[in-house]
Amino acid sequence: MGKAKKTAAESATGGKAEASAGDMRPVYAVAGADDGLRSRGLQNVLEQIGEGGSVTEYSGSGFELADVLDELRTMPLLGDRRIVVVRDADSFVSKYREKLEGYLAGPSSTGTLVLDVRKWPSNTRLAKLVEKIGQTIRCEPPTGKEFDGWLMQYTAKMGKRLALGAAQLLRDLLGKDEPAIYLSEIEKMVTYIGERPGIEVADVQALVSPMRAELVFAVTDAMADRNVGRALGLWEQVLASDKEAQFKAIGGLAWGLRKLIKARRLVDRGMSPDQAARESQVWGQMAAARVQAFSTRHLESQLARLAEIDVSSKSGGDIRTEVQNFIVAACGSGQRRS
C-alpha cells in the first residue's frame, strides 16, 4: 500500500500501544463500547499481526470454546501462526471466563487469540492475564471538550494540522454519535490536501458535506421496506448525484443512519416515534415508520459495517459493490413491518 503502518491503538483511539507481527503475542483484547472505533481497532490489529499467519474468525452462537482452542492448538499449514478472532465476544467471555483463564496460563506457542469485546473491566483476572502476556487495545471515544483536541491530535499524527474551525464544522456536520467516521473523513482530507500543511474549513466543505438528504433517506426507506431493488437503484442515484460522490457516499449514508439511531434511542426511552423523528430531524411521510423499522442494535451494527467499508476503500476496496452487499444484508435483517 506504500504507507507506513499505523499502530492499532493509534488508528483506533490515538493511543500509543503497538501491535506488530515481529512481536506476536498469544492474546489480544480489542475493547470498547463504540462499534465503529472497535471495528477500526480490530481491523488494524489484524493488519499488524496477520502477515505471518492464517486468520480464522468466529461469531454468533454456533461454536464452542473447544472449537476455538482446537484451532489455536493446530499447527499452522501456512505462515508461522494461527490467528483466531472471536467477534462480539462478550457472551463468549462470560460463558468461558474460567476456562479462558486456564488456557492463557499455558497458551499455544503457535496460536494467537483475538477477542473483540464491548466491555472489558481491567480488574478481572482474565483482563490481568491478557495485560501480562498479551495486549489490550482500548477503543474509547473522547468526551466533552476533549473531542476537538482528539481530532487535532489524530491529524497531527498524519503530519498535518486541523484548523479549529474545520474541527468545529466537522462536529456540526457529523455529530458525535460515530467518532470512527471522523477518523475516516480526516484520512480522506489528508489525501485530498496533498502537500498543503493543514486541513481548513473549505476542505471540510468540499469533502464532508452530507449528500442530498432526500436521496439518503430514500435509500433507508427502501431498506426499511426490505425493497432491495429500489434501495440498490437509489444507491446508484446517490453515486450519480455529485461529482465528489466517491468521497462522500459512505459519510452520507452514515449521516442518515446516525439520525435514525438518535431517534430510535429516544423511542427506546419511551418517546413516540413521531416525536422522536421530529427531535432527530428525520423528515418525510415515512419518518415514524422508518424509525421503527430497525432496532437500535441493528442500526448500530449497520453503522459499524459502514465504517468497515470506509476503511476497506482505502486499501483498494470497491465502495459501490461493498455498499450494494451492505444494502442486501440490511434488507434481510431487523424488525419486519406487520
DSSP string covering 136-201? EEE-----TTHHHHHHHHHHHHTT-EE-HHHHHHHHHHH-SS-HHHHHHHHHHHHHHHTT-SEE-H
For residue 243, pLDDT over 60 is answered with no
Query: pLDDT grade, residue 338 (50/70/90)?
Result: very low
Which residue is listed with cell 474541527? 167
For residue 17, pLDDT over 80 is answered with no
Its pTM stands at 0.61
Q: How many CA atoms lie within 13 A of 87 on its CB side?
A: 17
* Topology (CATH level 3) of domain 213-331: Zinc Finger, Delta Prime; domain 3 (1.20.272)
Do 91 and 116 meet the contact criterion of CB atoms below 8 Å apart?
no
* Topology (CATH level 3) of domain 8-138: Rossmann fold (3.40.50)
For residue 1, pLDDT over 60 is answered with no
Integer Cα distance of 83 and 187 in angstroms? 28
Do 260 and 282 meet the contact criterion of CB atoms below 8 Å apart?
yes
- List pLDDT tens digits, range 181-228: 788 889 889 998 999 999 999 888 877 755 555 666 678 778 878 889
Do 246 and 302 meet the contact criterion of CB atoms below 8 Å apart?
no
- List pLDDT tens digits, range 287-297: 788 888 888 88
- List pLDDT tens digits, range 128-183: 999 999 999 999 888 777 888 899 999 999 999 999 999 988 887 776 666 887 88
Q: Domain segments of the chain: what residues?
A: 8-138, 146-207, 213-331
Do 112 and 27 meet the contact criterion of CB atoms below 8 Å apart?
yes
Instruction: Label residue 114 exposed, middle or buried (CB < 10 Å: 0-12, 13-18, 19+).
Output: buried
Please name the CATH architecture into which domain 146-207 falls.
Answer: Orthogonal Bundle (1.10)
pLDDT at position 9, please?
Answer: 37
